């Protein structure tokens, strides 16, 4: 078996944890498996490097940011190889140049284009554990790139796909994917299995166990993913194409507190105006999520939508700059909102799921601000203060057994 194992920054934050990870990998290796390990930068390293850069230049060239940030993972992988050597197992660390892992040219947010498995395969054939830097790549200019948030998960999945691995295990500080955040909903349960699509919705909606790009890639290349704990030996959650036959109606509840709601009021009721608004935002790479359009007063339109809080200021400014052209009378921004979602492949064939969710929220007096749905998901926008009570109510309605 060829197994790709990915460990995040907190799993390699100090000497003890590095040896803990080394031992887990060696255990697998001693069973006769081939082991490829993907690591993030240790603990707060990336934040420290970002702070160092900001001290020098708050608007530093992104190419140089990547050159700087990529050192973090290189430190992790070399120290891990040293730890394995100490434990008597041959290991070799590889950075993005050495694999090589080719990406697009876009600094700080690159995408994998091609991963060459030759060197890794040769090292594995020599009986070594191979330790690869997560989060980074090399572009056509031979420059270092990084993949943006959740990049190391994506590296692990991309390597698993390129090497045709038998499993890709993502180690994290929780034991798997839960039906809801266990810190908020005490009776939340760990899922045994979840489909790519469900996981994708959950990831996108703020269940921060896996980054959605890694799930998308796993789905595309049919990489069997397992999410499990780096601290315990619990079994974790399997993410794969088809889950159990009698699919749960709802498999999980997710909350995203990082949303901001933007309302633009009093637009002229003429064709193409909504297109112009969202085309403008798209051109500036602002990701719009839930959209709601309603008729305003005096035959005008009101449009509300959510964006990530980090993009809210830029979005509002952009709308202001184009206020006249877009015939906007008024722009409002609101950050004390959260998206609450239920996800489940079973929804597709079951009417009344939405109604049941709204009932649960009504029962505990939670006001619904906006609604959006996909085939396997229902999302509502609620006040930030209502998150806990709403999450528990919805979870109990669908998932408490």
Asked if 74 touches a copy of itself (CB under 8 A), the answer is: yes
CB of 95: closest distance to a copy of itself in angstroms? 7
Q: Could you tell me the strand order of the sheet in which 237-240 lies?
A: 91-94, 129-133, 34-39, 2-7, 167-172, 225-229, 237-240, 193-195
Angle, helices 273-283/309-321, rounded to nearest 10 degrees:
120
Q: What residues does 395 pair with on adjacent strands? A: none
Strand spans (E) along 204-357? 225-229, 237-240, 252-256, 259-268, 288-295, 300-308, 330-334, 337-343
CB of 67: closest distance to a copy of itself in angstroms? 4
Residue 364: strand, helix, or coil: coil
Asked if 371 touches a copy of itself (CB under 8 A), the answer is: no
Residue 284: strand, helix, or coil: coil
Q: Considering only residues 26, 35, 37, 65, which one is a binding residue for a copy of itself as defined by CB under 8 A?
A: 65
Phi-psi region of 203 (alpha: psi -120 to 50; beta: other; left: phi over 0): alpha
CB of 171: closest distance to a copy of itself in angstroms? 19
Q: Considering only residues 1, 60, 234, 295, which one is a binding residue for a copy of itself as defined by CB under 8 A?
A: 60
DSSP string, 161-194: HHTT-SEEEEEESSSS-BSS-TTT-TT--B-SEE
d(CA 249, CA 342): 10
- Of 381, 204, 344, nearest in space to 287 by CA: 204
Q: Considering only residues 30, 31, 47, 52, which one is a binding residue for a copy of itself as defined by CB under 8 A?
A: 52
Q: CB-wise, 64 or 166, nearer to a copy of itself?
A: 64
Asked if 121 touches a copy of itself (CB under 8 A), the answer is: no
Q: CB-wise, 57 or 293, nearer to a copy of itself?
A: 57
Residue 273: strand, helix, or coil: helix
Here the tokens at position 120 are: 């890794």
CB of 99: closest distance to a copy of itself in angstroms? 9
Residue 352 burial class via C-beta count within 10 angstroms: exposed 0-12, middle 13-18, buried 19 and up: exposed
Q: CB-wise, 68 or 399, nearer to a copy of itself?
A: 68
Q: Considering only residues 4, 25, 26, 70, which one is a binding residue for a copy of itself as defined by CB under 8 A?
A: 70
Q: Considering only residues 37, 68, 361, 391, which one is a binding residue for a copy of itself as defined by CB under 8 A?
A: 68
Report 140-199 residues binding a copy of itself (CB under 8 A): 142-144
With CB under 8 A, what is the number of residues at the site for a copy of itself?
A: 37
CB of 23: closest distance to a copy of itself in angstroms? 13
CB of 125: closest distance to a copy of itself in angstroms? 15
**75 to 114: interface string for a copy of itself, x by CB under 8 A:** x-xxx-xxx-xx-----xx-x-xx----------------
CA angle 369, 374, 375 (to 5 degrees): 140
CA angle 340, 399, 289 (to 5 degrees): 20
Q: Considering only residues 71, 322, 329, 374, which one is a binding residue for a copy of itself as defined by CB under 8 A?
A: 71
Q: CB-wise, 102 or 356, nearer to a copy of itself?
A: 102
Q: CB-wise, 50 or 231, nearer to a copy of itself?
A: 50
Stretch that binds a copy of itself, among 57-65, 103-111, 204-212, 216-224 (CB under 8 A): 57-65
Here the tokens at position 6 are: 């990915």
Stretch that binds a copy of itself, among 137-145, 275-283, 366-374, 393-401 (CB under 8 A): 137-145
Strand spans (E) along 186-235? 193-195, 225-229
Interface positions with a copy of itself (CB under 8 A) = 15, 18-19, 49, 52-53, 55-57, 60-61, 63-65, 67-68, 70-71, 74-75, 77-79, 81-83, 85-86, 92-93, 95, 97-98, 119, 142-144
């Amino acid at each position: 078996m060829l197994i790709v194992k990915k460990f995040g920054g907190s799993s390699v934050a100090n000497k003890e944890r590095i040896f803990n990870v080394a031992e887990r990998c060696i255990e697998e290796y001693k069973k006769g498996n081939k082991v490829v390990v993907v690591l993030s930068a240790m603990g707060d390293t990336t934040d420290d490097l970002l702070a160092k850069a900001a001290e020098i230049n708050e608007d530093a060239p992104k190419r140089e940011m990547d050159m700087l940030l990529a050192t973090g993972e290189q430190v992790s992988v070399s120290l891990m190889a040293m730890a394995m050597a100490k434990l008597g197992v041959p290991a070799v660390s590889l950075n993005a140049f050495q694999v090589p892992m080719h990406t697009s040219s876009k600094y700080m947010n690159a995408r994998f284009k091609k991963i060459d498995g030759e060197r890794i395969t040769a090292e594995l054939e020599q009986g070594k554990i191979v330790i690869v830097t997560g989060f980074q790549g090399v572009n056509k200019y031979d420059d270092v790139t990084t993949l943006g948030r959740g990049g190391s998960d994506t590296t692990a999945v991309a390597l698993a796909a390129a090497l045709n691995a038998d499993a890709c295990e993502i180690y994290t500080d929780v034991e798997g994917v839960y039906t809801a955040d266990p810190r908020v909903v005490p009776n939340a349960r760990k899922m045994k299995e979840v489909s790519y699509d469900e996981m994708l919705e959950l990831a996108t909606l703020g269940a921060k166990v896996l980054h959605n790009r890694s799930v998308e890639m796993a789905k595309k290349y049919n990489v069997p993913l397992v999410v499990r704990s780096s601290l315990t030996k619990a079994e974790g959650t399997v993410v794969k194409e088809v889950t159990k036959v009698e699919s749960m109606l709802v498999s999980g509840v997710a909350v995203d507190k990082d949303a901001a709601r933007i309302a633009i009021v009093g637009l002229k009721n003429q064709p193409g105006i909504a297109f112009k608004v969202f085309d403008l935002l798209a051109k500036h790479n602002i990701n719009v999520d839930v959209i709601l359009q309603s008729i305003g007063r005096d035959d005008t339109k009101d449009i509300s939508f959510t964006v990530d809080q980090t993009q809210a200021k830029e979005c509002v400014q952009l709308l202001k700059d184009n206020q006249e052209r877009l015939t906007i009378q008024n722009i409002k921004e609101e950050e004390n909102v959260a998206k609450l979602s239920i996800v489940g492949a079973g929804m597709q064939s079951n009417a009344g799921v939405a109604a049941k969710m709204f009932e649960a929220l009504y029962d505990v007096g939670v006001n619904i601000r906006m609604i959006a749905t996909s085939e396997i998901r229902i999302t509502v926008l609620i006040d930030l203060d209502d998150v806990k009570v709403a999450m528990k109510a919805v979870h109990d309605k669908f998932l408490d057994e």
